[in-house]
Amino acid sequence: MVELLKLAPTADELAGRFAAAGHRLYLVGGSVRDALLGRAGSGGDLDFTTDARPEQVQKILRGWADRQWDTGIAFGTIGAVRRGQTVEITTFRADRYDRESRNPEVAFGDTVESDLLRRDFTVNAMAVQLPERKFVDPHDGLAALAARVLDTPAAPEDSFADDPLRMLRAARFVSQLGFSVAPRVRAAMTAMAPEITRITAERVQAELNKLITGAHPRAGIELLVDTGLADHVLPEVPAMRLATDEHMQHKDVYTHSLVVMEQAISREEPGRPDLVLRMAALLHDIGKPKTRKLEKDGRVSFHHHEVVGAKMTRARLRALRYSKATIDEVSRLVYLHLRFHGYGTGEWTDSAVRRYVTDAGPLLDRLHKLVRSDCTTRNRRRASALQRSYDSLEERIAALRAQEELDAIRPDLDGNEIMRILGIPPGPLVGKAYKHMLALRMERGPISHEEAETELRTWYAAQPPH
């Protein structure tokens, strides 16, 4: 705590002002938890709780804060900035919930103990009284922190009934902090999993993003699946447990997908978690259960699962209110993740390589990482062969890129030139001609302007009368 407060001199300044006004002030929340975990330098906002009412807080901050706002005043929260440090100060709360939504009936409390009782987990229910710097821990949060266990201050059934989003937060903290959940918390999550449907898609998405970009996303996802929460927020993931992969491996598609995600993470730039890559790795095989077919020779096939999976990915991410850009990128990677396997032993033509690069577009680097991560076979010879084959493809891409500027492939004639050469006005025929010239560019690579014009005229002569 001392180290934390050294890094946050605003806390002592603020405490002095509250004490002078006759009010108590406590530092609470994630900053206390992180300081005890040795992460005091990780930055972030500082959260405080106080017996002062919001109007009194505003008066205390006046003349001290560089800026303050009251967007959360209905919930007793006033925000402010002092020398670049953001603080949020909330009056003691003793809320009640209608247990139909997650909206509390806001009620102010009189003690820090009652305020800490309403918090999500005991590791977040510790406080430091200021300026005395007295540690307050009525729910043994420090012991839970030492054991790296998530437990609730109140009975978990009551906590989750008040706010079902806390169940997703548990999985998120498992991912971010590497904690486990207490047996009674796991039992309550399992029994109350359907309650998560009370939460809006936007809130669910925000927690999933933090979970997937955490340090241990596999553990968080496994908790969601094992407790049944995933059945309501990402049902396609637990559904993969029903499918055996096409190589008749002992692992199912679900486990395979978790391994692929871990391997994709290992290929990220350090300290820069890639939500799109991780999500694509997790979902790349979700089309397999729907395309599963038992062949005559006893093997299992999943023909066109990448096409089905891309459609399923798009539908799920749309339901979770992801941005159009994220939906397009993740579903595109799912759609393309099998394309490489047509490369075989290197028989692709230059045209096929150009199409691979063009279809991937700005996702090419992520596609490289996803495809390489998708190799989870224990057969070292087969794994080495696949990696060599992909090495060969990347080398050919590099060679063609050097020759042809692959990242910006365009037809040798643009729309204006097509209209000028053929003497036609804007319309569908111009688009049709453009597509023909683009296909020609893919097939043959760059050609001279004279050759391109000849090819265009030949194509146009073969078209039906207009």
pLDDT tens digit at each of 466 positions of the chain: 666 666 567 888 899 999 999 999 999 988 899 888 887 654 578 999 999 999 999 999 999 999 999 999 998 999 999 988 899 999 998 867 666 665 667 789 899 999 999 999 999 999 999 988 899 999 999 999 999 999 999 999 999 999 999 999 999 999 999 999 999 999 999 999 999 999 999 999 999 999 999 999 999 999 999 999 999 999 999 999 865 655 555 458 999 999 999 999 999 999 999 999 999 999 999 999 999 888 888 788 888 999 999 999 999 999 999 999 999 999 999 999 998 877 665 567 888 888 888 889 899 999 999 999 998 877 788 888 888 888 888 888 888 776 655 555 667 788 899 999 999 999 899 989 988 888 887 777 778 888 889 989 999 988 887 6
**What pLDDT is stored for residue 252 in this prediction?**
83
pLDDT number for residue 376: 81
pTM: 0.81
User: Are 51 and 110 within one domain?
Assistant: yes
Whether 360 and 436 map to the same domain: the answer is: no
Specify whether 403 is located in the same domain as 427: no
Q: Which of 365, 388, 409 is the last residue of a domain?
A: 409
For 85, half-sphere exposure in the C-beta direction (CA atoms, 13 angstrom radius) is 19
* 299 and 415, same domain (yes or no): no
Residue 46's beta-bridge partner residues? 87
Domain assignment of residue 263, yes or no? no
* 466 in a structural domain: no
CA distance 370 to 446: 30
Same domain (yes/no): 135, 40: yes
Is-contact 336 306, C-beta < 8 A? yes
Q: Please give the tally of structural domains in the chain.
A: 4
Last residue of a domain, one of 372, 388, 409: 409
Exposed, middle or buried, 62 (CB in 10 Å: 0-12/13-18/19+)?
A: exposed
Is 160 part of any domain? yes
Q: Which domain holds residue 130?
A: 2-146
Domain for residue 317, yes or no?
A: yes
Angstrom distance (rounded) from CA 244 to CA 33: 42
Report the C-alpha gap between 339 and 432 in whole angstroms. Answer: 26
**CA atoms of 27 and 48, how far apart (whole Å):** 5
Is residue 256 in some structural domain? no
Residues 320 and 430 in one domain: no
- DSSP label of 252: B
With respect to residue 261, please indicate whether it lies within any of the assigned structural domains: no
Residue-level pLDDT at 388:
84
Is residue 96 located within the same domain as residue 214? no
- Please give the pLDDT value at position 250: 42
| Domain identity same for 216 and 87 | no
Nearest to residue 435, comparing CAs of 357, 406, 443? 443
Looking at the domain assignment, is residue 262 inside a domain?
A: no
